[in-house]
Structure 1
Amino acid sequence: MDVLNNIEISPVWAGHPVGFDLLTHKGRQFVAFYDHDRKMTVGQRSLKESRFELLSLEGRWLENRGRLSTNIEWDTHNSITMTIDRNDHIHLCGNMHVDPLIYFRTSRPLDVRSFERIDCMVGKNEDRCTYPRFMSGPGGKLVFRYRDGMSGNGVDYYNVYDEGSQSWTRLVDIPILHGMDLMNAYARQPELGPDNQYHMVWMWRDTGDCATNHDISYATSQDLVNWSAGDGSNLPLPITVKASASIIDPVPPGGGLINMCQSLGFDSTHRPVVSYHKNDEDGFTQAYVARLEEGNWKIQKLSDWDYHWDFSGGGSIGAEIRLGGVETREEGFLAMTWWHARKGSGIWKISESTLQVVGSYPEPKPELPAELLKVGSGFPGMSVRTASGRGDADGTRHLLRWETLGANRDRPRDEIPLPSDLVLYEINP
């Protein structure tokens, strides 16, 4: 692994972690982040240029927040995400956690200087938005998904974009997932699988307390409109917890599910395999996989850890367990990455026929050279953050690196570090 080039972009806010974004498209590169003054900032360059042209985005005043919509406070939920439509206009959304829609679109192709603030997409249910996600839908259409509501009481809407009229409409008029005013769904973005079907995994949560996650669930669709459960039965919209056929594992509240750990993979015959953790009969938090086999879910415990992750409460917390989705490696075996704050990390070698762990694979090399993974700041509690770019070509990878303090349940800190340097690295894998 060689670092081919690096570009210092800007000093950035380091008081808490929040997601930045990096896109490469048609020989140009676009970045979105919060600068040292906590302002939402975008940048662009030609891949032949050695510096980014930067621009701060001007938001609207949010009376209930007492700030502009493009200024971040302390919320780790408030990541920035971008996409590029089929006419090469850039779309950006972010800084929302139960907030009015914050959305920008360029009026000229591939030019961040032409970003315009657009305060509504469809004009309904856009006052309490969280988790904005752009994705490619059927036929290459641009789809936007977000939650309306709050943790413990929310619904998931999907919009679709028309490049000709430069307008958004609902993909369907009603939510895809609905908490019935009793809960909300924490869903992975639907993923187009090797069978050309969209696969969606989610769990329900009753309140803002992360311990109240329950009932990890699954649905599949060809068009993001008509959905089916794993057994092939139809799931009328909106999908609620009452749709028992959608439930993979009926883990109760307090049973060890957390929404930051639910991954999806596929075996060699394209069957979906869902990774998650829950508490075992002794109360220890263990890794599990569930595979769809002839309409039923086979559940298999993978770990044998003697540790209970006792998480609860609201706000963003740091992960103590991370599980990747399974991947096919050699004939008859699957690979799955895992990381545990107390038990280390590795890649399990899993028998494809039994789903039991039979060994391990060597861990891959880090995505950055060791010296770049070392924290440079002397401020206590700082960590390295990275964001991989999307749209890279010719085998070259681009990623962002900066340093911040860890998550703090979205609460202010008394002491904050100096701004960190946001640096772009070009890497030859």
Structure 2
Amino acid sequence: MIHVCLRRARALLVLAGLLFAAAAPVAAQDDPLRIGGYEVAALDLVWAGHDVGFEILEGGTRVYVAYYDATRQLTLASARIGAQDWDFCKLDSMVGWDSHNQIALGLDAAGNLHVAANMHGSDLSYWRTTEPGDVCSAEPLAVLTDAAAEQAMSYPRFLRDAAGELIYAYRDGTSGRGDQIYLAYDTRRERFTRISDAPLIDGEGLYNAYLRGPVQGPDGWFHIAFVWRDTPDARTNHDLGYARSRDLRDWETSRGRPLPLPITYGTAEIVDPVPVEAGMINNNTPVGFDPDGRPVIAYHKFDAAGDTQVFLARDTGTGWEIVQATRWRDFRWEFGGTGTLDFRLVLDAPRSEGDWLIVPIRRDGRSLELVVDPYDLRVVEEREVRTFADRVAPYIDREEGLRIRTTTETFSGDPDPYRLIWTTLPSNRDAPRFDIPDPTVLRVLTPLSRVE
């Protein structure tokens, strides 16, 4: 496998036939397009045979992008903020067909980039740069803390704790039998340590908790929502749970009851005791906050008539207020089995907007918002909206069946973030396809406030 670095390259328009003969990244590059406060410019040609998450991160004076290129190879790119001259580095990792094999990026206090990617119940696949700002200095790490707990890694994620320390989170184990592990990075010593001897959440060999979060609220606390799952079959999700922490080390319930680690099914706070096969899915339980800063969890399950509905759960300080937000008829998302699902319903975190609570939704390809009265969580309007992807779509050529995919930079917390946009086929239950599309263009969206 090639390991190539190319410095200060400007993306170029080439014939597709040259792509596979080239050792360095190649891409389409027209004059940058400006849409909705962004400059949109091509970066590279990328794999479009199935949906898998790419990543973008801003830190210091540079922006970093990680993706699977047209040949499926994990690739890093970096440029000075606002510039279009990129450094590229191809890493020794090739993605297969698993849509779980997302990419995660983090930045430590010294300015070195951390990359975790291409894992689903897999051995550690992790790189760190040795020179701040230089993706060409990325080197693999063979072990972080304990090799025995790094042989079945999934769902990598980087975040910062309340002190700004880099935290790496992942699942150790498999669906239905997994533990949530959190590691803290010591920049001076260049090493990780486990936040606690025990996992954050332990499935005890019987369950797996799927988390959304941690997300830091306006109160400074970190909040997580999670569902329990019995087996790899998606039908076996049940029991919506919640926990919070000031420092990601000591956890408690919404009522302030301490939760000694590891949190287990027997000790966890249950927000809504949703049974198995009741229409609740993992990774679709985002946590947001109402205008008073109280956590609100959005999730879905079947109503009494068997239709799929969105529900909202809010921490009142004395318990959970649960309200059915939608009143849809003849919409039932029946899911099950193993492999990555093609989600008919996607929920984003509730957010405050003026005097209202807004719940973004994507249902069967339509972008919607629920406008909610925060006083009683009553929906006063369900409206169709145009997302950024919807606004950019007319400018993007795509084959039939390809979908527009976007990623927003969140690690820096900048209110005016970078974005990525590309087109791809949806996931295919992590199985190979008979046919695959041509590579598509990955575009970087630079806020106009940062354009040179």
Q: What TM-score comes out, normalization by structure 1 length?
A: 0.91
Query: Is 1:355–2:389 an aligned residue pair?
Result: no
Residue 116 of structure 1, CA deviation: 0.6
1:268 to 291, 296, 299: 291
Map 1:42-81 onto structure 2 (within 5 A).
42-47=76-81, 49-58=83-92, 70-81=93-104
Question: Alignment RMSD, CA only?
Answer: 2.1
Residue 3 of structure 1, CA deviation: 6.4
Map 1:301-316 onto structure 2 (within 5 A).
301-306=324-329, 307-316=331-340
* Cα distance between partner residues in 1 of 2:348 and 2:191: 36
Q: Secondary structure at the match of 1:281?
A: coil
Specify the alignment match of 1:65 in structure 2.
none
Query: Is 1:384–2:408 an aligned residue pair?
Result: no
Report the AA paired with residue 198 of structure 2: I
What do residues 134-168 of structure 1 show as CA deviations (whole Å, max 9, x unaligned)? Answer: 11013111111100000011100110000111000
Map 1:171-210 onto structure 2 (within 5 A).
171-210=195-234
Q: Secondary structure at the match of 1:211?
A: helix
Residue 128 of structure 1, CA deviation: 0.2
Map 1:141-160 onto structure 2 (within 5 A).
141-160=165-184
Specify the alignment match of 1:99 in structure 2.
122
Query: Is 1:223–2:247 an aligned residue pair?
Result: yes
Q: Secondary structure at the match of 2:149?
A: coil
What do residues 264-314 of structure 1 show as CA deviations (whole Å, max 9, x unaligned)? Answer: 111222221111001111211111001111321111001111221110011
Specify the alignment match of 1:414 in structure 2.
434
* Cα distance between partner residues in 1 of 2:404 and 2:414: 27
Map 1:238-257 onto structure 2 (within 5 A).
238-243=262-267, 246-257=269-280
* Cα distance between partner residues in 1 of 2:324 and 2:395: 34
Q: Secondary structure at the match of 1:265?
A: strand
1:367 to 364, 380, 388: 388
* Cα distance between partner residues in 1 of 2:154 and 2:414: 35
Residue 255 of structure 1, CA deviation: 0.9
**Does the Cα contact within 8 Å between 1:392 and 1:398 map onto a contact in 2?**
no
Q: Secondary structure at the match of 1:154?
A: strand
* Cα distance between partner residues in 1 of 2:63 and 2:103: 16
Report the AA paired with residue 233 of structure 1: R
Distance 1:419 1:345, change over 3 A: closer
* Cα distance between partner residues in 2 of 1:282 and 1:184: 29
* Cα distance between partner residues in 2 of 1:233 and 1:297: 15
* Cα distance between partner residues in 2 of 1:134 and 1:371: 29
Unpaired runs of at least 5, structure 1:
59-69
* Cα distance between partner residues in 2 of 1:116 and 1:173: 27
2:55 to 21, 38, 43: 21
Query: Is 1:139–2:163 an aligned residue pair?
Result: yes
Distance 1:321 1:6, change over 3 A: closer
1:298 to 321, 335, 343: 321
Report the AA paired with residue 364 of structure 2: A
What do residues 169-206 of structure 1 show as CA deviations (whole Å, max 9, x unaligned)? Answer: 10001111011111101001211111111111100111
* Cα distance between partner residues in 1 of 2:414 and 2:280: 40
Report the AA paired with residue 95 of structure 1: N
Residue 16 of structure 1, CA deviation: 0.4
Residue 396 of structure 1, CA deviation: 5.7
Distance 1:43 1:313, change over 3 A: same
Query: Is 1:130–2:164 an aligned residue pair?
Result: no
Distance 1:401 1:328, change over 3 A: closer
* Cα distance between partner residues in 1 of 2:413 and 2:154: 31
Q: What TM-score comes out, normalization by structure 2 length?
A: 0.86
Distance 1:369 1:329, change over 3 A: closer
Distance 1:361 1:383, change over 3 A: closer
Report the AA paired with residue 387 of structure 2: P
Residue 341 of structure 1, CA deviation: 1.3
Report the AA paired with residue 419 of structure 1: P
Aligned length: 413
Distance 1:312 1:374, change over 3 A: farther
Q: Answer with 381-390 or 274-283: which moved more.
A: 381-390
Query: Is 1:338–2:361 an aligned residue pair?
Result: yes
What do residues 210-235 of structure 1 show as CA deviations (whole Å, max 9, x unaligned)? Answer: 11100010011112121111122121
Q: Secondary structure at the match of 1:113?
A: helix
* Cα distance between partner residues in 2 of 1:110 and 1:38: 24
Residue 11 of structure 1, CA deviation: 1.4
Kindly report structure 1 stretches of 4+ aligned residues shifted beyond 6 Å. 391-395
Specify the alignment match of 1:401 in structure 2.
421
**Does the Cα contact within 8 Å between 1:156 and 1:178 map onto a contact in 2?**
yes
Q: Secondary structure at the match of 1:139?
A: coil
> What's the % identity of the aligned pairs?
35
Distance 1:6 1:327, change over 3 A: closer
**Does the Cα contact within 8 Å between 1:214 and 1:252 map onto a contact in 2?**
yes
1:89 to 91, 112, 117: 112
* Cα distance between partner residues in 2 of 1:325 and 1:199: 12
* Cα distance between partner residues in 2 of 1:83 and 1:369: 29
Distance 1:182 1:373, change over 3 A: farther
Q: Answer with 384-393 or 409-418: which moved more.
A: 384-393
